[in-house]
Structure 1
Amino acid sequence: MESSNLVVFTTEDLKSLTESFHEKNLIGNTQFGKLYRGWIKAEGRDVTVKIWDEKSNSITLISDEYLVVKGEVQFLTHPAMNGHPNLVKVIGVCCDKEVRGVVYDLNPRDTLHNLILKDELNWIQRVDIILQLACLLKYLHTQDNPYMVLNICGAHIMLDWDCNPKLCDFGLISGGTIGKINTIKKQIPMPIDYADPFCATKDGYRETGCDVFSFGVVLLGLISKRVFDAEKLDKPGYILDNLVHCWAKKEYRPNCSLVHKSLIEDWGYNPEDGATITEIGIRCTEFFPRNRPTMKGVVEHLQSLLVLQRLGDTRPNKREKKFHADYENGHVKL
C-alpha cells in the first residue's frame, strides 16, 4: 500500500470491530459493498468499516479486488488529499482472501442517502453540505491532472456529527495519481439516478462533467427531499418516474423553486435563494455536458446565496482553507 503508517487489519479484526458485521452496525450499502459502524475497544475509538462485497454487480467486473483497495488508498493517502476535511481518512486496510476492506477514522452520523428525507437536516445545514461538496469537487477538478470521481451519490457521502460531508467511495475514480480511466471501469455503470445520461449516448465518455451532473442530482435531492429507492426497481415505470433529475425537469419553471415546503418554513430560507439554488441544480443536470457549469462556477454561484452572505460564510469552511494553506506551504504530510 501507499503508506507505511496504515494499520494492517485481518478479517477477524474487522469482525471484532463490527460484532461480526452485525446488521445493527450496518450504515448502508455502497456500489461495491457495505458500510459498518465499528469500535476499536483498545483505543476507545469509533470508526467506519467499509468492505467490498464480491457478490456486488459492480465488483464482479473487476478481476482483482486488491487493485480497487490499492487505488482508494493511493488516492486518500496522497499528500494533496490526505487530511482534506471532506474526504474520509483511512487508518487501516484488510486484504485477506475472505474480506477486502478499509477502516476510516470517522464516527458517522449517517449517510446522506439515509438523511435526505428526514427532518434532521434543516435548510442551512443542507445549503452548507451542498457548498462543501461543491468546494471538494472544485478542488479535485482543478488539480493539474483533474480527478474524476464518477460514482458520486448520496450513499457514498457520510456526514459527521457536525453535518460535514465526507466522500467515502472511490471505486471508479481516475485522473491525478490514479491515471486515466481503464477499460474495466468504463464498463461499470455509475449509480442509478446519479448517472450522467450523456454517457449512454457516447460510449466511453468520462469527463468532469459527469461529476457535475451527479452533484446536481445530490443538490436537487437535498433541497426537494427526494431520493431514488432502488428497492422498488421491479415496479413498472418506476425508474423514469422517480429519478430525481427527471422529476425536477418536469416540475421546473424559470425563476421557480423546487425546495420542499417544510424547508421553506425554516429560519434562514429566502425565496430568492430557493430559486437560485434550484436553477444551479437544473443547470448541472443539463443533458449536454457543454451546457453544464464547471464546479468553480457552481461554487461562485452558491457563495452568492443570501443565507451564506448573512452568516458571513461565503467561502469554504475554515478547515478546508487551513488544509489548502498547509498543503501549499508543504505542511501536509502522510
Structure 2
Amino acid sequence: MPSRSKVDSSLSGITVTNDAESKSTNEKGSDQPVVPVSSSTTSNAGSASSTPLFSEELKIASQLRKFAFNDLKLATRNFRPESLLGEGGFGCVFKGWIEENGTAPVKPGTGLTVAVKTLNHDGLQGHKEWLAEVSFLGNLLHSNLVKLIGYCIEDDQRLLVYEFMPRGSLENHLFRKGSLPLPWSIRMKIALGAAKGLAFLHEEAERPVIYRDFKTSNILLDAEYNAKLSDFGLAKDAPEDGKTHVSTRVMGTYGYAAPEYVMTGHLTSKSDVYSFGVVLLEMVTGRRAMDKNRPNGEHNLVEWARPHLGDRKRFYRLLDPRLEGHFSIKGAQKAAQLAAYCLSRDPKARPKMSEVVETLKPLPNLKDMASSSYYFQTMQADRARSNVNTKNGIRTQGGFVSRNGQPTRSFSSLNGPRASPCHPPLQSPKTNGRAS
C-alpha cells in the first residue's frame, strides 16, 4: 500500500513532508527526495479519538467488518517480516489470511487473502487521514477502487484491512529496476481502469469526491492487471452546488499536483484530471514525473514533454524505448493528445474523466504496431548508425551521444532492465487476449 511524498502548504509558506514510497511484493524503497524532510504537519499525539466518538464518526460505514487486534496479529503471523508487503508514511502493510466472510484468522494460503495496514505512531500520518480512508473507501464501492474490508480500533491501535492486490503498484512495474516492460496494450488497459475509477469518484458517486493524490504508486493491480485506486487519506468531498472549488491546504505529490492548485489552494475535480495526464505521460514515456537523475531540462516530465505532445512526428521521442516499437502508432498519438488535453494550463479546458474514458476505450485493442512502420524502421537505422559511431570512438554516456563535447539525445540507448541483487525481476506480463 503506497504512501506519499506530500506537498503541504499554507498562505504563509510551503512545508514539504517526504515519505518513502511503499513497495509491494516485499519491496521497500524511496523516491528521490525533492527537499529535506521537514516535521510532519499532522501530529499523531493526541489525535486518536475515543471509541464512542469514532463510532459516531464512522456510523455511515457500518458494512465494514470490525476486527480484533489479536485476530489481525494472528492473521499476519504476528506481523512477521516475511509477511511485510510494504512500508510508508502511514505504517507497514502486511499480508494476512482471514475467514472468507468473517474476521477470524485462518491458516496461510486458505480463506481470504488480505493486506493489513498498520498505523505507525511515529509516522507522518495520523488519525485524521486514517479516518478519511475509512470514511471514503468504506462507502465507495466500484470495480476500479481497492475494496476496504474492515478496520481495527483498540486503544491507540489503528489498522485497516484491504483486499490483496497480487501485482502490486503500477509504479513498480514501470520503474522498478529488474522489472520487465509492461506491454503497450496492458498499459492502456491500466490507464482505462484508472480513468474509470476517477470518473466514478467525480461523476457517479452519490457524493462526488476529489481524489487529490492520483499517481502511479496509488494505482494497484490485480492478477489480471485491472487497475484499482488506493489510499484515500487525502480525498476531499467535491464542492457543493453553487461553489466552484474547495479551499484547502495544498497537499499532494511534487510533479503530479495541478499548478493552479499549488498556487492558490483551490481544489477541483480538474486537479485530478491534471494528475491523470501526468500518469498517462509516465505510462507512455516510461519516465518518472520528477527525476533529478535526468539531464538538465528533463527533470520535470511535463515540461520536457510539452513541446513534443502537439507534433505528430516529434511525439515519437516521447515513447518508452523499452517498448522497442511494440506500440500502436494511432494509440500512442491518441494517448499523447489526451495527455496534452488533460495537462492544459487552463483547468476549464481539461476534459471530464468520463470523456477521458471514452477516448481510452479503443486504445488497448489497436494493432498498428510501430515496429512495422517506415518511420520506426528509419529510426532503427539511425540507431544502428549511432552504434557504429560509438564503435568508432564517439562516446555515449547515459543514453546520450557526445559530439563536440555537447550531449545530444540518441535513440541508440535502449537500456534494458538490470537485475537487482535484492529483488528478482517481475513476472513477464502476458496479454493472453485479456488486455482489452
Mark yes or no: TM-score above 0.5. Answer: yes
Question: Which residue identity does 1:244 align to in structure 2?
Answer: L
Ranges in structure 1 where 5+ consecutive residues have no aligned partner: 311-317, 319-334
Q: Between Structure 1 and Structure 2, whose CA radius of gyration is higher?
A: 2
Classify 1:175/1:286 alpha carbon distance in 2 versus 1 (closer, same or farther; 3 Å).
same
2-structure distance, mates of 1:261, 1:295: 28
Match of 2:117 among 46, 50, 53: 50
Tell me, yes or no, if the aligned pair for 1:147 and 1:176 is still in contact at 8 Å: yes
2-structure distance, mates of 1:275, 1:89: 34
Match of 1:160 among 215, 222, 231: 222
Classify 1:210/1:177 alpha carbon distance in 2 versus 1 (closer, same or farther; 3 Å).
closer
Paired residue secondary structure (1:132): helix
Correspondence list, 1:1-334, <5 A:
1=58, 2-29=60-87, 32-40=90-98, 41-42=105-106, 43-57=110-124, 59=125, 65=127, 67-78=128-139, 81-82=140-141, 84-117=142-175, 118-119=179-180, 121-143=182-204, 145-175=207-237, 186-187=248-249, 189-202=251-264, 204-228=265-289, 241-249=298-306, 251-255=308-312, 256-257=315-316, 258-266=318-326, 269-305=327-363, 307=365
Classify 1:188/1:101 alpha carbon distance in 2 versus 1 (closer, same or farther; 3 Å).
farther
2-structure distance, mates of 1:9, 1:240: 50
Question: Which residue identity does 1:165 align to in structure 2?
Answer: A
Q: With structure 2 as the length reference, what TM-score do the two structures score?
A: 0.59
Paired residue secondary structure (2:164): coil
Higher relative contact order (CA 8 A, sep 6+): 1
Ranges in structure 2 where 5+ consecutive residues have no aligned partner: 1-57, 99-104, 369-433
Q: Deviations over 1:84-126 (max 9, x none)?
A: 1111112220223443221012242111111113325211111
Paired residue secondary structure (1:273): helix
Paired residue secondary structure (1:88): coil
1-structure distance, mates of 2:303, 2:85: 28
Tell me, yes or no, if the aligned pair for 1:30 and 1:156 is still in contact at 8 Å: no
Question: Which residue identity does 2:180 align to in structure 1?
Answer: D
2-structure distance, mates of 1:52, 1:229: 28
Q: Deviations over 1:234-291 (max 9, x none)?
A: x8x999843332332255452224221232533xx32121111012112212232123
Paired residue secondary structure (2:257): coil
Moved more, 273-282 or 27-36: 27-36
Tell me, yes or no, if the aligned pair for 1:74 and 1:178 is still in contact at 8 Å: no
2-structure distance, mates of 1:126, 1:77: 28
Tell me, yes or no, if the aligned pair for 1:75 and 1:177 is still in contact at 8 Å: no
Classify 1:229/1:243 alpha carbon distance in 2 versus 1 (closer, same or farther; 3 Å).
closer
Paired residue secondary structure (1:242): coil
Classify 1:264/1:138 alpha carbon distance in 2 versus 1 (closer, same or farther; 3 Å).
farther
> RMSD across aligned C-alpha pairs, in angstroms?
3.4
Tell me, yes or no, if the aligned pair for 2:194 and 2:227 is still in contact at 8 Å: yes
Classify 1:262/1:173 alpha carbon distance in 2 versus 1 (closer, same or farther; 3 Å).
same
Classify 1:32/1:152 alpha carbon distance in 2 versus 1 (closer, same or farther; 3 Å).
farther
User: In proportion to residue count, which structure has more helix?
Assistant: 1
Classify 1:31/1:250 alpha carbon distance in 2 versus 1 (closer, same or farther; 3 Å).
farther
| 1:38 shift after superposition | 2.6
Q: With structure 1 as the length reference, what TM-score do the two structures score?
A: 0.75
1-structure distance, mates of 2:239, 2:260: 26
Question: Which residue identity does 2:111 align to in structure 1?
Answer: G
